[in-house]
């Protein structure tokens, strides 16, 4: 075998190994991105569970004729806004997540106002349907926190992988972009002041 043929064989092997490495990286990115998409579905699922509980809660509270209608309307409107904001899982960028989170925060705020207002209605606080719904909402809020944390962990792994050199070259060429994180609400680092 001539020296020229050996050189071409070595070049062909190097090119083939580079292609195989690139394909392996690409497939790894696909796997990680599917993990992000799957976890996003879990996040949406628990937010949907919360949205599904709200009509039952509102109907239970409506049974108390003198209950503040403005508070109920606020919850209904916030729910409508929160369920209208959806995100395409292939576009989980910081801006779309911020819009989604803003709508969800509005609903959380409306629910908090509702639960504070309920303190003035001892009969309602003793209603078993209301208590069951309140417990389900509390459990759902915990699930939301867990799923958001898992989502952020999976996104961190994905983002870290596509940013590392030399994998970042393959990610850039093949269109794998960084995904956004759920972030704390502005001002949440300050503890609320509670006065009795």
For domain 3-174, give the CATH superfamily. LemA-like domain (1.20.1440.20)
- Give the mean pLDDT of 131-159: 92
- Within a 10 A sphere around the Cβ of 90, how many other Cβ atoms? 11
- In the three-class reduction of DSSP (H, G, I as helix; E, B as strand; rest coil), residue 189 is classed as coil
Answer whether 87's CB lies under 8 Å from 100's CB: yes
pLDDT at 127: 80
The model's pLDDT over 21-31, given as tens digits with 9 standing for 90+, comes to: 999 999 999 99
* 8-17: pLDDT as tens digits: 999 999 999 9
Q: Is there a contact between 76 and 180 (Cβ–Cβ < 8 Å)?
A: no
- Residues 50-80 pLDDT 10s: 999 888 888 888 777 566 778 888 888 999 9
Residue 66's pLDDT is what? 63
More confident site: 71 or 143: 143
Per-residue confidence (pLDDT) for residue 61, from 0 to 100: 81
Residue 2: the pLDDT is 81
Which pLDDT tens digit goes with each residue over 98-114? 889 999 999 998 888 88
* Contact criterion met (CB below 8 Å) for 159 and 178: yes
Whole-angstrom CA distances from 125 to 9, 139, 174 are: 80, 18, 56
CA distances (Å), origin 150, targets 92, 119, 123, 180, 182: 15, 34, 39, 13, 10
Residues belonging to the chain = 196
Query: What was the pLDDT predicted at 122?
Result: 78
**In 10 A of CB 110, how many CB atoms?**
22
């Amino acid at each position: 075998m001539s020296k020229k043929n050996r050189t071409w064989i070595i070049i062909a092997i190097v090119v083939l190994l580079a292609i195989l490495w690139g394909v392996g990286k690409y497939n790894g990115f696909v796997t990680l991105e599917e993990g992000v998409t799957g976890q996003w579905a879990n996040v949406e699922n628990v937010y949907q569970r919360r949205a599904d509980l709200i009509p039952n809660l509102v109907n239970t509270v409506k049974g108390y004729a003198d209950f503040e209608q403005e508070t109920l309307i606020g919850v209904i409107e916030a729910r409508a806004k929160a369920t209208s904001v959806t995100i395409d899982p292939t576009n989980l960028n910081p801006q779309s997540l911020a819009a989604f989170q803003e709508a969800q925060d509005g609903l959380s705020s409306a629910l908090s106002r509702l639960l504070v207002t309920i303190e003035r209605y001892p009969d309602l606080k003793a209603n078993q349907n209301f208590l069951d719904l309140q417990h389900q909402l509390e459990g759902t809020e915990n699930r939301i926190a867990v799923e958001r944390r898992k989502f952020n962990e999976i996104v961190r792994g994905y983002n870290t992988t596509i940013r590392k050199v030399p994998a970042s070259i393959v990610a850039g060429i093949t269109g794998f972009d960084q995904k956004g994180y759920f972030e704390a609400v502005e001002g949440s680092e300050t503890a609320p002041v509670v006065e009795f």
